């Protein structure tokens, strides 16, 4: 029978106390995701999970009943774990967990919550960071670390089956929940995302709001065999970033959520600390890439806990190509009248 997550992390941690702290934290987090998976599986039998409870920490997004439940399950699971502070999409500021502990955890407890009442895949995203020396761990500043500082990151998708994708900085591993045993079991030790694929994910309804260069890139894809790519593409859009990420983990492709001209979207929409950072780590560790259009996501340093960012991730060849459209002359200079215009993803 396939190895459990506990065994996998035990082998990785060995006798190293620092790694064992990460192991303990990851097991606590994933225990909480099993509880969330059970609630998700009940659907309306568990109550009105899509009921609006308020707005998120920055006042933009609706906060649903399941958002709140998932957040509480994750926080409660970390009590007693070696985690000094917990930061969540659902709270304005970090909260204390275990004083003096060596780690920080940042989470999006329930990604894709607009899909709760339609039985479409949703998920949980998490990031584990070191608690920095000389900084109050229960402050926003404690989380202002470059993405490459992450000690571990992952997501869980609640779909037809519940899957965990995890990195501890040594490749990206894929697990599936064994509901009978109450354990995640290893499916693939080192995921490798295909370098090229014929799928892209973007919300085409926002086409008119995008930067000209991004529009040019997507229009080239839409031309299929008759365009410069000379390939017919399929488009996907689930409105659940973690579901899009899982599809790319399995079969490649590219996901784009750019900034655009609408109010509240000019700096991007997804959160850097607990959405973009963990996904970027998983992508890079699986041989793929993640960028804001100019800079690798993992090289960015947050200035706010709930900072938003444009996000493009997926098969490296695809990410490199769209970055070329957005930042350099490359192959589009001769044919694009837009070359002389400002071509960035952020306003």
Report, as an integer, the average pLDDT of 37-62: 84
Runs of H (alpha helix) within 198-340: 212-222, 241-251, 277-285, 316-327
Q: Residue 216, annotated ligand binder?
A: no
Q: What is the pLDDT of residue 56?
A: 65
Rounded Cα distance, 200 and 275, in Å: 19
Phi and psi dihedrals of 158, rounded to 5?
Answer: -100, 95
172 and 208: one domain?
Answer: no
Domain containing 214 equals 199-332
Q: Residue 113, annotated ligand binder?
A: yes
pTM metric for this prediction: 0.93
Q: Residue 255, annotated ligand binder?
A: yes
172 and 203: one domain?
Answer: no
Q: Say if 337 falls within a structural domain.
A: no
Going by pLDDT thresholds of 50, 70 and 90, the confidence category of residue 54 is confident
Q: What is the pLDDT of residue 1?
A: 85
Task: Look over the chain and give the mean of its residue pLDDT values, rounded to a whole number.
Answer: 93
Terminal-to-terminal C-alpha distance of the chain: 52
Going by pLDDT thresholds of 50, 70 and 90, the confidence category of residue 334 is very low
Rounded Cα distance, 222 and 220, in Å: 5
Q: Residue 167, annotated ligand binder?
A: no
59 and 21: one domain?
Answer: yes
List Cα–Cα distances, 254 to 11, 122, 146, 211, in angstroms. 33, 19, 23, 18
Report, as an integer, the average pLDDT of 13-23: 98
Going by pLDDT thresholds of 50, 70 and 90, the confidence category of residue 53 is confident
Q: Residue 203, annotated ligand binder?
A: yes
The CATH number covering residue 32 comes to 3.30.540.10
Q: Are 142 and 305 in contact (CB under 8 A)?
A: no
Report, as an integer, the average pLDDT of 40-67: 84
Q: Say if 205 falls within a structural domain.
A: yes
Q: What is the pLDDT of residue 76?
A: 98
Q: Residue 76, annotated ligand binder?
A: no
Edge-first strand order for the sheet with 254-257 is 234-236, 199-201, 254-257, 311-314, 289-291
Q: Residue 323, annotated ligand binder?
A: no
Question: Of 155, 188, 221, which one is at a domain's C-terminal end?
Answer: 188
DSSP string, 239-251: S-HHHHHHHHHHH
List Cα–Cα distances, 263 to 59, 209, 293, 312, in angstroms. 13, 11, 20, 20
User: For the segment 224-283, what is each residue's pLDDT rounded down to a tens digit?
Assistant: 999 998 999 999 999 999 999 999 999 999 999 999 999 999 999 999 999 999 999 999
Residue 57, pLDDT > 70, answer: no
24 and 156: one domain?
Answer: yes
Q: What is the pLDDT of residue 332?
A: 56
Q: What is the pLDDT of residue 333?
A: 45
User: For the segment 2-12, what is each residue's pLDDT rounded down to a tens digit?
Assistant: 999 999 999 99
149 and 246: one domain?
Answer: no
Q: Say if 248 falls within a structural domain.
A: yes
Question: Of 150, 166, 188, which one is at a domain's C-terminal end?
Answer: 188
Beta carbons within 10 angstroms of residue 230's beta carbon: 9
Q: Residue 111, annotated ligand binder?
A: yes
| Cβ neighbours of residue 145 closer than 8 Å, sequence gap 6 or more | 129, 130, 132, 301, 302
Rounded Cα distance, 84 and 89, in Å: 17
- Give the lowest-confidence range in 10-19, 126-135, 286-295, 338-347: 338-347
Q: Say if 347 falls within a structural domain.
A: no
Q: Residue 114, annotated ligand binder?
A: yes
| Higher local confidence (pLDDT), 327 or 82 | 82
322 and 243: one domain?
Answer: yes
What is the percentage of the chain residues whose pLDDT exceeds 90? 87
Q: Residue 110, annotated ligand binder?
A: yes
DSSP state of 3: P
Q: Say if 345 falls within a structural domain.
A: no
Torsion (CA) 213, 217, 218, 222 in degrees, nearest 10: 140
65 and 137: one domain?
Answer: yes
Report, as an integer, the average pLDDT of 125-137: 98
175 and 26: one domain?
Answer: yes
Buried b (16+ CB within 10 A) or exposed e, 91-123: beebeebbeebbbbbbbbbbbbbebbeeeebbb
Torsion (CA) 33, 117, 312, 322 in degrees, nearest 10: 150
33 and 160: one domain?
Answer: yes
Question: Of 188, 207, 242, which one is at a domain's C-terminal end?
Answer: 188
Helix (H) or strand (E) holding 88: strand 83-88
**Three state DSSP letters for 287-311:** CCEEECCCCEHHHCCCCCCCCEECE
User: For the segment 179-226, what is each residue's pLDDT rounded down to a tens digit?
Assistant: 999 999 999 999 999 988 899 999 999 999 999 999 999 999 999 999
User: How many separate domains does the chain show?
Assistant: 2
Rounded Cα distance, 319 and 296, in Å: 10
Q: Say if 66 falls within a structural domain.
A: yes
171 and 231: one domain?
Answer: no
Q: Say if 148 falls within a structural domain.
A: yes
250 and 162: one domain?
Answer: no
Give the catalytic positions in this structure.
61, 67, 89-90, 108, 110-111, 275
Rounded Cα distance, 24 and 189, in Å: 20
144 and 12: one domain?
Answer: yes
The CATH number covering residue 273 comes to 3.40.190.80
Q: Say if 172 falls within a structural domain.
A: yes
């Amino acid at each position: 029978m396939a190895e459990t997550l506990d065994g996998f992390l035990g082998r990785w941690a060995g006798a190293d106390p620092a790694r064992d702290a990460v192991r303990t934290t990851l097991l606590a987090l994933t225990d909480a995701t099993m509880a969330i998976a059970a609630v998700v599986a009940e659907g309306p039998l568990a109550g009105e999970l899509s009921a609006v409870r308020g707005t998120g920490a920055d006042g933009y997004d609706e906060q649903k009943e399941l958002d709140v439940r998932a957040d509480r399950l994750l926080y409660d699971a970390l009590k007693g774990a070696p985690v000094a502070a917990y930061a969540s999409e659902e709270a304005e500021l970090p909260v204390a967990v275990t004083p003096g502990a060596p780690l920080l955890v940042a989470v999006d407890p329930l990604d894709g919550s607009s899909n709760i009442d339609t039985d479409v895949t949703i998920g949980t995203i998490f990031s584990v960071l070191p608690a920095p020396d000389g900084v109050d761990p229960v402050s926003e500043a404690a989380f202002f670390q470059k993405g490459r500082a992450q000690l571990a990151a992952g997501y869980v998708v609640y779909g037809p089956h519940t899957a965990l994708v995890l990195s501890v900085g040594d490749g990206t591993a894929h697990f599936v929940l064994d509901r009978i045993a109450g354990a995640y079991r290893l499916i693939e030790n080192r995921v490798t995302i295909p370098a090229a694929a014929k799928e892209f994910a973007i919300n085409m309804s926002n086409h008119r709001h995008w930067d000209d260069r991004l529009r040019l890139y997507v229009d080239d894809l839409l031309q299929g065999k008759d365009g410069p790519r000379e390939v017919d593409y399929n488009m996907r859009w689930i409105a659940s970033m973690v579901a899009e990420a899982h599809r790319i983990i399995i079969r490649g492709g590219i996901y784009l959520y750019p900034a655009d001209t609408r109010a509240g979207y000019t700096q991007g929409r997804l959160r850097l600390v607990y959405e973009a950072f963990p996904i970027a780590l998983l992508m890079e560790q699986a041989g793929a890439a993640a960028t804001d259009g100019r800079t690798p996501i993992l090289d960015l340093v947050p200035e706010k806990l709930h900072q938003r960012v444009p996000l493009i991730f997926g098969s490296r060849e695809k990410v490199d190509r769209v970055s070329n459209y957005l930042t350099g002359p490359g192959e589009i200079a001769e044919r694009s009248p837009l070359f002389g215009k400002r071509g960035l993803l952020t306003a």
